[in-house]
Amino acid sequence: MSTVVSGIRSTGNLHLGNYFGAVKNFIEMQHTHQTFFFIADFHSLTTHPVPGDLHTNVKQVLAEYLACGIDPEKSTIFIQSDIPEIPELYLLLNMNAYLGELERTASFKGKARQQPENVNAGLLTYPVLMAADIIIHKAHFVPVGKDQEQNLEMSRTFARRFNRMYNVETFPIPRAYTFEGKDMVKIPGLDGSGKMGKSEGNAISLAESPASIRKKVMRAVTDTGPTEMHQIKPDVIRNLFTLMEVVSAPDVVSHFDTAYSNCSIRYGDLNKQLAEDIIHFTTPIRTRIEEISKDSVYLSKVAKNGAEKARESASKTLQEVREIIGFRKFY
């Protein structure tokens, strides 16, 4: 059976874009693959969170994933910092990761621009830590979005480099996973931009209150409306329809589609419907998030079991790697 690893940084809440992208795919994979799912709290340190926030965020993200349907009976769910084998493999991989290639990574350049006062080495070696996360479980697949493709390519490079350097086949070369051969649905933002993202400030989170959802959706960017019959929708409008396609009933979508086509559409109605359908979709998830985050006993049980299972797999790989590199015990 092939192995899948997926991780998420522990900064902030899950939004609709995360849900319809990576999370939904991952949930389906639980049935057919050996799946590891973790919260990347080491990775979150690149932005220097304060200690109290770090823990709260990890807890929130864990509760949110469980609420979405990531199942601790089927998947190994764990917190990255519970697995000391990950930073050790990261250290070892760093020895074969080169400054030039790390500096050229788009995500590094982006972050360096975003936080010029804090261009730390952790940012530079972010893809090395990510590679360690993935290959420590000998993953075959990583369900990643477009923005992570280059980081995954780096993981492939580091896995290949290790295998070649020691003339071994320790690591499978991990591949991006796209569900049923299709690209993942890209959920647009409400500001007319192509992608919903937390840092873009255009996201609707799964835990968001109905009032806040209504406010955001009613303010979504639109245009002055169609002027010709059967006009092609501009991006800002197509984005709203894309959102509708994932949360609304098909007849609702076709109703507004027809209204657009014959120029009778009123964006106020469209947005109102979209807001209600988003609320209808997120309410059961939001309720579960609230229940699970209150259940500390359950959360600690999940984290503990997950850490045990993940360490079992990670320590096996690390032992093999140490052996290959040439570490031998004196005692």
Helix (H) or strand (E) holding 76: strand 76-79
Catalytic residue among 24, 59, 111, 216: 111
Cβ neighbours for 146, distance < 8 A, ≥ 6 positions apart = 186
User: Is 242 a binder of ligand TRP (CB under 6 A)?
Assistant: no
User: Is 123 a binder of ligand TRP (CB under 6 A)?
Assistant: no
Question: For ligand TRP, which stretch binds (CB under 6 A), given 112-120, 142-150, 159-167, 231-239?
Answer: 142-150
User: Is 5 a binder of ligand TRP (CB under 6 A)?
Assistant: yes
| Alpha carbons 108 and 114: distance in angstroms, whole number | 10
Q: How far is the CB of 173 from ligand TRP (least distance, A)?
A: 14
User: Is 6 a binder of ligand TRP (CB under 6 A)?
Assistant: yes
Q: What six digits make up the tokens of 23?
A: 């999370």
Confirm if 64 and 23 have CB atoms less than 8 A apart: no
User: Is 16 a binder of ligand TRP (CB under 6 A)?
Assistant: no
215 annotated active-site: no
Nearer to ligand TRP, 101 or 223 (CB): 101
| Alpha carbons 294 and 204: distance in angstroms, whole number | 22
Catalytic residue among 74, 186, 198, 233: 198
Q: How far is the CB of 145 from ligand TRP (least distance, A)?
A: 8
| Alpha carbons 43 and 59: distance in angstroms, whole number | 15
| Alpha carbons 328 and 85: distance in angstroms, whole number | 17
Choosing from 151, 202, 205, 273, the residue that interacts with ligand TRP (CB under 6 A) is 151
SS3 287: helix
- Tokens 């993940």 sit at which residue? 310
329 annotated active-site: no
Residues forming the site for ligand TRP (CB under 6 A): 5-9, 40, 43, 130, 133-134, 142, 144, 148, 151
Catalytic residues: 111, 195, 198
